[in-house]
Amino acid sequence: MKQNLALFDLDNTLLAGDSDYSWSLFLISEGLLDAKTHHDRNEQFYLDYKNGCLNITEFLKFQLKPLSQHSKKFLDELHLKYMQKIIRPMMTQKAQDLVDKHKQAGDLCVVITATNSFVTKPIATAYGIEHLIGSDPEMVNGEYTGGVTGVPTYKEGKVIRINQWLEARGQQLSDFKTSYFYSDSHNDLPLMKLVTDPVAVDADEILTAYAKQQGWPQISLR
């Protein structure tokens, strides 16, 4: 029997909140970022994302800079606190049940997110999903530089990255009889249009309207 593919967006899809946006607020609350300068830019980037006009290069430069200012060891310890305090309350039972359903069916499960993989890998792991495709922070000698490597996983970038990832496994999207992609955001339409079974999850207005027009299923994981 052929295996199916289940792709999950993370922020505001599996999570009832945004891990990227919340990470910045968490760093501010920990006294590691200047509240005033950082808060306003964080808000603007979040608004740009929602409006579909985010400059992903500028955003990643902004978001990854703090990683270059601390050791990997310190950041990993900090992330444990972030998981407990901020992320665990955003993880819903409905989202976990959906992931479990796909895993029990033997589907290949992947989280694919624009958020950087330092922030998101432990979250995917907490859901029991082994595979994560995120925007990858650059590392030199085991420490973060503040740069990014490869194509950011945003809009058409998600299509490029999933194709690259499957190719490295000797596979392609068309190998799967059924491919699911769960997302809340119209930014994910390039990839949603390519899978056999796109599902709108607690979707934004643009995606809701498009899903309705196309007859795509719409669900809530809240």
The per-residue pLDDT for range 129-177, each reduced to its tens digit, is: 999 999 999 999 999 999 999 999 999 999 999 999 999 999 999 999 9
pLDDT value, residue 39 = 87
Q: What is the side-by-side order of every strand in the sheet holding 179-183?
A: 143-149, 131-140, 108-116, 5-8, 179-183, 197-201, 218-219
The pLDDT of residue 143 is 97
Domains contained in the chain, number: 1
Helix axes 35-50, 56-64, angle to 10 degrees: 150
User: pLDDT digits over 68-119, tens only?
Assistant: 999 999 999 999 999 999 999 999 999 999 999 999 999 999 999 999 999 9
User: What pLDDT does 1 receive?
Assistant: 67
What's residue 37's pLDDT? Answer: 83
- Smallest CA-to-CA distance from 211 within 196, 16, 193 is with 193
User: Would you say 184 and 207 are in contact if contact means Cβ atoms under 8 Å apart?
Assistant: yes
pLDDT digits (tens, 9 = 90+) for 1-28: 689 999 999 999 999 999 999 999 999 9
In percent, the amount of the chain with pLDDT more than 70 equals 100
Q: What pLDDT is recorded for position 2?
A: 84
Question: What 3-state DSSP class applies to 65?
Answer: helix
Give the residue numbers spanning the domain of 94: 5-219
The stretch 37-48 carries a mean pLDDT of 90
CB atoms within 10 A of CB 83: 16
167-209 tens-digit pLDDT: 999 999 999 999 999 999 999 999 999 999 999 999 999 999 9
**Helix H segments across 86-199?**
93-104, 117-126, 156-168, 189-192
Kindly report the CATH number assigned to the domain that includes residue 177.
Answer: 3.40.50.1000
Query: Which residues carry out catalysis?
Result: 9, 11
